[in-house]
Amino acid sequence: MRNVGDWTIKDLEALIGQEEDQRLEFKQSAKLLGGKWKSELAKSVSAMANAVGGVLVIGLAEDATNRSVAGSVDEGLALDQVSPDQLGQALNAGILPHLAGLTIRPIDLGQGRFAYAIDVPGDGPHAPYQVQQEYRYFQRQGREAKPLLDFQIRDIMARRTKPSLEVRFSFGEAGDPALWLVQAHLWNTSDEPALYYAYDLFYDTAIRGLSAGDGPTFVFVDRRGKEYVCTRLYAQCAVPADPPCYKERPVKLLEELVRLEEGQIYALGFHVACPGCRMTGVGYVRRQGDAVKVVMNDGTLRIPIFEDGVTIKDGRIY
């Protein structure tokens, strides 16, 4: 995705048919003409900021059969209806504390009308961010902004003084539509370095090319009864890690060449722990033509492809 500050109408058109996800949300322009648009906008933006950030696009109509999919570029807004300054003022007044680093990009649709793309930074230094009018905190989970519970608020605040770790999987092209280079990196989104950490990586045994792991297999099972047999790779640093995991300096945990079959779904997951932080994620990877999509769950989200969520069938994973 290009830098939001460079977007044009072509970037909006490229989103048609795309589904909302953790980092992407669409709103129709008409929703900013109602009486509560300022608080709703503050809710959406603060929820993204309290998660991993993302882009909020104003000016895309919903698909007629699926409200979470962008159907078309809509008529946009005139500057005397909602201007970039009004958007900025609404967010500055509606979110506490001040959310720095927002980019608001007006996109000219012609005839004096505009769409907007708002680039929202994630995990800022003053998180969590509150919707002032509601006196509540929200976090984007999947495609929804859900209220934060007390322990979640405390966890976000603790990131200022404790490490905040997660594992991110990526799949890069390897010169053959079926071959992909899978990598797993340990990320720290806190300013506090992680000197000690332990991790488990869980991956589907159906992914051809991945090593067998060093632990017992177990099964993810969806509510329809379909099973995903996974193996695990485990590592523990009981002495200061080499290297320590610093903010925005990921540590590579896995790199292998694998084969993915067209349209097949493979389960992925991780558990990582260090003093002051524990995080679990479950998700899936699916190859569609010459693209691979990875969707991860932070342990509380539902995974769309599994419909009713995933449970562990055999044994404890952490």
Give percent of the chain with pLDDT exceeding 70: 87
Structurally, the chain folds into a number of domains equal to 2
Considering the domain architecture, whether residues 175 and 31 belong to the same structural domain is answered as no
Considering the domain architecture, whether residues 38 and 57 belong to the same structural domain is answered as yes
Considering the domain architecture, whether residues 146 and 210 belong to the same structural domain is answered as no
Q: Select from 158, 192, 216 the last residue of a domain.
A: 158
Backbone angles phi, psi at 100, to 5 degrees: -85, 155
| Residue 219 lies inside a defined structural domain of this protein | yes
Q: Flag the least confident range among 214-223, 224-233, 290-299.
A: 214-223
User: Mean pLDDT for the chain?
Assistant: 84
Q: Select from 113, 128, 158 the last residue of a domain.
A: 158
| Residue 317 lies inside a defined structural domain of this protein | no
| Residue 137 lies inside a defined structural domain of this protein | yes
Q: Flag the least confident range among 6-10, 91-95, 122-126, 149-153.
A: 122-126
- The answer to whether residue 84 scores a pLDDT higher than 80 is yes
Query: At 79, which CATH number?
Result: 3.30.950
Considering the domain architecture, whether residues 10 and 150 belong to the same structural domain is answered as yes
> Can you read off the two tokens belonging to residue 230?
């996974």
Section 47-68 average pLDDT: 89
Considering the domain architecture, whether residues 264 and 176 belong to the same structural domain is answered as yes
pLDDT higher for 117 or 230?
117
What integer pLDDT is reported at residue 240 of this predicted model?
A: 57
What integer pLDDT is reported at residue 16 of this predicted model?
A: 92
Separation CA 43–CA 95 (nearest Å):
8
Section 309-317 average pLDDT: 45
Considering the domain architecture, whether residues 73 and 146 belong to the same structural domain is answered as yes
Considering the domain architecture, whether residues 169 and 290 belong to the same structural domain is answered as yes
DSSP letters, 13-63, are HHTTTPBPBTTEEEE-GGGGGSTTHHHHHHHHHHHHHTTT-EEEEESEEEP
> Of 75-89, 283-297, 301-315, where does the model show the most confidence?
75-89
What integer pLDDT is reported at residue 239 of this predicted model?
A: 53
Reported confidence tier of residue 1, pLDDT bands at 50, 70, 90: low
- The answer to whether residue 281 scores a pLDDT higher than 90 is no
Q: Select from 158, 190, 217 the last residue of a domain.
A: 158
Considering the domain architecture, whether residues 98 and 41 belong to the same structural domain is answered as yes
Considering the domain architecture, whether residues 151 and 195 belong to the same structural domain is answered as no
| Residue 231 lies inside a defined structural domain of this protein | yes
- The answer to whether residue 304 scores a pLDDT higher than 60 is no
Considering the domain architecture, whether residues 210 and 103 belong to the same structural domain is answered as no
Contact 127, 156 (CB under 8 A): yes
Q: Flag the least confident range among 154-168, 220-234, 302-316.
A: 302-316
Considering the domain architecture, whether residues 210 and 293 belong to the same structural domain is answered as yes
| Residue 318 lies inside a defined structural domain of this protein | no
Kindly report the number of other CB atoms within 10 A of residue 273's CB atom. 18
- The answer to whether residue 317 scores a pLDDT higher than 50 is no
> Of 79-88, 115-124, 144-153, 207-216, where does the model show the most confidence?
79-88
| Residue 224 lies inside a defined structural domain of this protein | yes
Q: By residue range, what is the domain housing residue 48?
A: 4-158
pTM value?
0.61
| Residue 215 lies inside a defined structural domain of this protein | yes
Q: Flag the least confident range among 15-29, 70-84, 174-188, 231-245.
A: 231-245
| Residue 266 lies inside a defined structural domain of this protein | yes
Considering the domain architecture, whether residues 212 and 148 belong to the same structural domain is answered as no
